[in-house]
Amino acid sequence: MTTTAPNQSSNKGFILLVVGVIIAGIAGVAFLATGRDSAISGEPIGEAVTVAGDALAPMPQDVGVSNGSNDSAVGQVAPDLALTDFDGNPVSIANDGRAKVVYFLAHWCPHCQAEVPLLQELISEGKKPDDVDIYAVSTSVNPEAGNYPPQAWLKSKEKLDAILAADDEANTALKTYGGGGFPFAVYLDGENKVLFRTSGELGKEGIETAWQQVAATAAASR
Protein backbone atom coordinates (compact mmCIF):
# COMPACT_ATOMS: atom_id res chain seq x y z
CA MET A 1 0.00 0.00 0.00
CA THR A 2 1.36 3.39 -0.90
CA THR A 3 2.12 5.56 2.09
CA THR A 4 -0.23 8.53 2.14
CA ALA A 5 0.23 11.93 3.63
CA PRO A 6 0.40 12.15 7.96
CA ASN A 7 -0.15 14.44 6.70
CA GLN A 8 -25.58 12.36 4.12
CA SER A 9 -27.23 12.49 5.43
CA SER A 10 -30.77 13.41 6.53
CA ASN A 11 -30.48 16.26 8.95
CA LYS A 12 -29.38 19.84 8.60
CA GLY A 13 -26.73 19.54 11.29
CA PHE A 14 -24.98 16.79 9.42
CA ILE A 15 -24.90 18.82 6.24
CA LEU A 16 -23.17 21.59 8.19
CA LEU A 17 -20.76 19.01 9.54
CA VAL A 18 -19.87 17.90 6.03
CA VAL A 19 -19.07 21.44 4.94
CA GLY A 20 -17.07 22.30 8.03
CA VAL A 21 -15.07 19.11 8.20
CA ILE A 22 -14.12 19.10 4.54
CA ILE A 23 -12.40 22.42 5.19
CA ALA A 24 -10.82 21.35 8.49
CA GLY A 25 -9.99 17.85 7.33
CA ILE A 26 -8.16 18.95 4.19
CA ALA A 27 -6.22 21.58 6.12
CA GLY A 28 -5.29 19.37 9.01
CA VAL A 29 -4.83 15.80 7.81
CA ALA A 30 -1.85 13.91 9.17
CA PHE A 31 0.17 11.43 7.16
CA LEU A 32 -0.30 7.71 7.65
CA ALA A 33 2.81 5.98 8.87
CA THR A 34 2.55 2.61 7.21
CA GLY A 35 6.17 1.78 7.73
CA ARG A 36 7.99 2.08 11.03
CA ASP A 37 10.83 0.91 13.17
CA SER A 38 10.66 -2.29 15.18
CA ALA A 39 8.57 -1.86 18.27
CA ILE A 40 10.09 -1.83 21.69
CA SER A 41 9.27 -5.05 23.45
CA GLY A 42 6.06 -4.51 25.33
CA GLU A 43 2.56 -4.19 24.06
CA PRO A 44 2.12 -0.95 22.09
CA ILE A 45 1.56 -3.14 19.02
CA GLY A 46 -1.05 -5.90 19.05
CA GLU A 47 -0.88 -9.44 17.82
CA ALA A 48 -1.54 -10.21 14.16
CA VAL A 49 -4.96 -8.93 13.11
CA THR A 50 -7.30 -11.46 11.52
CA VAL A 51 -9.64 -10.24 8.80
CA ALA A 52 -12.83 -11.94 7.60
CA GLY A 53 -14.34 -10.31 4.53
CA ASP A 54 -13.26 -7.95 1.77
CA ALA A 55 -11.20 -4.86 2.53
CA LEU A 56 -12.82 -1.48 2.06
CA ALA A 57 -11.64 0.82 -0.71
CA PRO A 58 -9.16 3.48 0.36
CA MET A 59 -10.67 6.65 1.79
CA PRO A 60 -10.87 9.21 -1.03
CA GLN A 61 -8.11 11.78 -0.85
CA ASP A 62 -8.97 15.38 0.07
CA VAL A 63 -12.34 14.31 1.49
CA GLY A 64 -13.18 15.23 5.07
CA VAL A 65 -16.55 13.46 5.31
CA SER A 66 -17.42 10.80 2.78
CA ASN A 67 -20.83 9.84 1.45
CA GLY A 68 -22.35 7.56 -1.15
CA SER A 69 -21.43 9.85 -4.02
CA ASN A 70 -17.72 10.12 -3.29
CA ASP A 71 -16.86 6.94 -1.39
CA SER A 72 -17.41 3.48 -2.89
CA ALA A 73 -17.13 1.91 0.58
CA VAL A 74 -20.39 3.52 1.76
CA GLY A 75 -23.08 0.84 1.89
CA GLN A 76 -20.58 -2.01 1.90
CA VAL A 77 -20.26 -4.43 4.79
CA ALA A 78 -17.01 -3.80 6.60
CA PRO A 79 -14.92 -6.90 7.18
CA ASP A 80 -14.78 -8.42 10.65
CA LEU A 81 -11.57 -7.69 12.55
CA ALA A 82 -10.11 -9.80 15.33
CA LEU A 83 -7.59 -7.71 17.28
CA THR A 84 -6.14 -7.57 20.77
CA ASP A 85 -6.03 -4.81 23.33
CA PHE A 86 -2.82 -3.56 24.97
CA ASP A 87 -2.97 -6.43 27.47
CA GLY A 88 -3.34 -9.11 24.82
CA ASN A 89 -7.06 -9.66 25.36
CA PRO A 90 -9.18 -10.32 22.25
CA VAL A 91 -11.19 -7.48 20.72
CA SER A 92 -13.70 -8.14 17.95
CA ILE A 93 -15.09 -5.56 15.55
CA ALA A 94 -17.78 -7.55 13.81
CA ASN A 95 -21.42 -7.77 12.79
CA ASP A 96 -22.94 -8.12 16.26
CA GLY A 97 -26.10 -6.07 15.77
CA ARG A 98 -24.55 -2.97 17.34
CA ALA A 99 -23.85 0.31 15.55
CA LYS A 100 -20.23 1.39 15.88
CA VAL A 101 -17.75 4.17 15.38
CA VAL A 102 -14.22 2.90 14.85
CA TYR A 103 -11.48 5.49 15.36
CA PHE A 104 -7.97 4.86 14.08
CA LEU A 105 -5.49 6.93 16.07
CA ALA A 106 -1.74 7.53 15.85
CA HIS A 107 0.00 8.54 19.07
CA TRP A 108 2.30 10.99 17.24
CA CYS A 109 -0.49 12.77 15.34
CA PRO A 110 -1.31 16.24 16.73
CA HIS A 111 -4.83 16.04 15.31
CA CYS A 112 -5.46 12.80 17.21
CA GLN A 113 -4.00 14.37 20.35
CA ALA A 114 -6.50 17.23 19.97
CA GLU A 115 -9.48 15.01 19.19
CA VAL A 116 -9.16 12.26 21.82
CA PRO A 117 -9.84 14.57 24.81
CA LEU A 118 -13.00 15.75 23.03
CA LEU A 119 -14.15 12.16 22.60
CA GLN A 120 -13.72 11.60 26.32
CA GLU A 121 -15.44 14.86 27.20
CA LEU A 122 -18.51 13.81 25.25
CA ILE A 123 -18.48 10.35 26.82
CA SER A 124 -18.12 11.84 30.32
CA GLU A 125 -20.99 14.23 29.59
CA GLY A 126 -23.25 11.32 28.64
CA LYS A 127 -23.39 12.37 24.99
CA LYS A 128 -22.46 8.95 23.59
CA PRO A 129 -25.64 7.25 22.36
CA ASP A 130 -26.42 4.09 24.30
CA ASP A 131 -26.85 2.03 21.15
CA VAL A 132 -23.53 3.05 19.58
CA ASP A 133 -20.22 1.43 20.56
CA ILE A 134 -17.00 3.44 20.34
CA TYR A 135 -13.75 1.71 19.38
CA ALA A 136 -10.31 3.30 19.43
CA VAL A 137 -7.63 1.43 17.48
CA SER A 138 -4.04 2.49 18.04
CA THR A 139 -2.16 2.17 14.77
CA SER A 140 1.00 3.26 12.94
CA VAL A 141 3.07 3.07 16.11
CA ASN A 142 6.54 4.63 15.91
CA PRO A 143 8.78 4.35 18.99
CA GLU A 144 10.92 7.23 17.68
CA ALA A 145 7.98 9.63 17.48
CA GLY A 146 6.42 11.69 20.24
CA ASN A 147 3.74 10.72 22.73
CA TYR A 148 4.97 7.13 22.87
CA PRO A 149 3.80 4.58 23.98
CA PRO A 150 0.17 4.83 22.85
CA GLN A 151 -1.27 2.90 25.77
CA ALA A 152 0.12 5.46 28.23
CA TRP A 153 -1.53 8.21 26.21
CA LEU A 154 -4.94 6.57 25.73
CA LYS A 155 -5.29 4.69 29.02
CA SER A 156 -3.32 6.65 31.61
CA LYS A 157 -3.31 10.23 30.35
CA GLU A 158 -6.62 10.60 28.51
CA LYS A 159 -8.42 7.72 30.27
CA LEU A 160 -10.41 7.15 27.09
CA ASP A 161 -13.54 5.19 28.01
CA ALA A 162 -13.84 3.33 24.72
CA ILE A 163 -13.11 -0.18 23.53
CA LEU A 164 -9.36 0.03 23.00
CA ALA A 165 -7.47 -2.13 20.54
CA ALA A 166 -3.95 -2.25 19.11
CA ASP A 167 -3.29 -2.69 15.40
CA ASP A 168 -0.51 -5.06 14.40
CA GLU A 169 2.92 -4.18 13.02
CA ALA A 170 1.65 -4.27 9.43
CA ASN A 171 -1.20 -1.85 10.26
CA THR A 172 -3.60 -4.49 8.97
CA ALA A 173 -6.73 -3.04 10.58
CA LEU A 174 -6.06 0.47 9.29
CA LYS A 175 -5.34 -0.71 5.76
CA THR A 176 -8.33 -3.07 5.72
CA TYR A 177 -10.68 -0.23 6.60
CA GLY A 178 -9.14 2.01 3.91
CA GLY A 179 -7.20 4.33 6.22
CA GLY A 180 -7.28 8.05 5.54
CA GLY A 181 -5.67 10.99 7.32
CA PHE A 182 -5.69 10.87 11.10
CA PRO A 183 -7.86 10.78 13.02
CA PHE A 184 -9.62 8.38 10.67
CA ALA A 185 -13.07 7.10 11.60
CA VAL A 186 -15.45 4.55 10.09
CA TYR A 187 -19.14 4.71 11.03
CA LEU A 188 -21.04 1.42 10.87
CA ASP A 189 -24.68 0.45 11.28
CA GLY A 190 -25.89 -2.62 13.16
CA GLU A 191 -25.08 -4.86 10.21
CA ASN A 192 -21.55 -3.46 9.94
CA LYS A 193 -22.42 -1.53 6.78
CA VAL A 194 -20.43 1.65 6.23
CA LEU A 195 -22.56 4.76 6.72
CA PHE A 196 -19.75 7.25 6.07
CA ARG A 197 -16.09 7.80 6.91
CA THR A 198 -14.21 10.85 8.15
CA SER A 199 -10.62 11.99 7.87
CA GLY A 200 -9.15 14.72 10.04
CA GLU A 201 -10.45 16.61 13.06
CA LEU A 202 -14.19 17.10 13.51
CA GLY A 203 -14.23 19.14 16.69
CA LYS A 204 -16.57 18.46 19.58
CA GLU A 205 -19.78 19.51 17.84
CA GLY A 206 -18.87 17.55 14.72
CA ILE A 207 -18.12 14.41 16.72
CA GLU A 208 -21.44 14.59 18.54
CA THR A 209 -23.35 15.21 15.31
CA ALA A 210 -21.70 12.20 13.69
CA TRP A 211 -22.59 10.00 16.67
CA GLN A 212 -26.18 11.20 16.52
CA GLN A 213 -26.35 10.38 12.83
CA VAL A 214 -25.17 6.83 13.51
CA ALA A 215 -27.66 6.46 16.37
CA ALA A 216 -30.53 7.75 14.20
CA THR A 217 -29.69 5.24 11.49
CA ALA A 218 -29.51 2.44 14.05
CA ALA A 219 -32.89 3.43 15.50
CA ALA A 220 -34.52 3.61 12.08
CA SER A 221 -33.37 0.09 11.23
CA ARG A 222 -34.93 -1.49 14.32
What pLDDT is recorded for position 221?
Answer: 76
H or E stretch at 185: strand 184-188
Q: What is the pLDDT of residues 11-39, one digit of tens each?
A: 444 434 443 443 344 334 433 433 333 33
- Give a yes or no: residue 109 inside a domain: yes
The CATH number of whichever domain residue 37 belongs to comes to: 3.40.30.10
Closest CA to 132 of 72, 216, 194: 216
Q: What is the mean pLDDT of residues 152-170?
A: 97
What is the residue range of 59's domain?
Answer: 12-220
Q: What is the mean pLDDT of residues 86-111?
A: 97
Residue 222 contacts by C-beta under 8 Å, 6 or more apart in sequence?
Answer: none
- Give a yes or no: residue 65 inside a domain: yes
| Spacing of C-alpha 14 from chain mean position | 18
- φ, ψ for residue 133 (rounded to 5)? -95, 140
Q: What is the pLDDT of residues 59-91, one digit of tens each?
A: 999 999 999 999 999 999 999 999 999 999 999
The total domain count for the chain is 1
- Give a yes or no: residue 77 inside a domain: yes
- Give a yes or no: residue 90 inside a domain: yes
- Give a yes or no: residue 1 inside a domain: no
Entry pTM: 0.83
- Give a yes or no: residue 181 inside a domain: yes
| Spacing of C-alpha 56 from chain mean position | 14
Q: For residues 134 and 152, give the distance between their C-alpha atoms in angstroms, rounded to a whole number.
A: 19
More confident residue, 168 or 36: 168
CB contact at 8 A, 158 and 120: yes
